[in-house]
Amino acid sequence: MSRIRFFPAIAGLVLVLCPAPAWTINKCVDGDGAISFQDGPCPEGVDAVVVTLRPEAGAASDAAAGSGPDADDDRFDTEILELVSVQATFEGCAGLSDGFAQRHHAVLAQWRSLNAGALQRMGGSGRYRMLKERGVEQMRTDSQGGAGPMLARFCEGQFIPALQQALDNG
């Protein structure tokens, strides 16, 4: 599977999908509201939140051995989260903006083609479905209270361009 490097906004979605303790990073929020994630401590005068993440998943060859993990089997989350973060974000964006899915169908089709093997192994699994549903629901929740237009701008202005750039870079 192609290793797509995701931008910080997707990191937030991934963090929502990884609730079990293992290792931590720091979420730093400066006075202007800018958010960054780092391994070390946040600079002085910046609000810090410790975020707990899951451990590295098992080897990719382990994932290929089965038809995908059950909903409570987190051994393959590194691979699954790469898939889920794109699919859940795309579906969440489609729910925010009329015509989004139609306008960007070609980008999603290209991504699905590039990740066909991993989607075939993992896409039908209980774990994939559960994490994707959780991600889409999180986008719905985040879009309430007036944040919908901001998220829709993120979808069009950051998510799709970053996904297209990652696809173009292979």
Residues 47-84: tens digit of each pLDDT: 887 765 544 444 343 433 345 666 666 777 777 888 89
Q: Is 25 helix (H, G, I), strand (E, B) or coil?
A: strand
* CB-CB contact of 137 with 84 (8 Å): no
* CB-CB contact of 155 with 93 (8 Å): yes
45 phi, psi to nearest 5 deg: 85, 5
Predicted confidence band of residue 45 (pLDDT cuts 50, 70, 90) = confident
Question: 103-153 pLDDT, tens per residue?
Answer: 999 999 999 999 999 888 888 888 888 889 999 898 888 888 788 888 899
Q: Which two tokens stand for residue 149?
A: 């237009």
Closest alpha carbon to 115 in 142, 82, 138: 82
Q: What is the rounded distance in angstroms from the CA atom of residue 1 to the CA atom of residue 82?
A: 9
| Distance in Å from the first CA to the final CA of the chain | 10
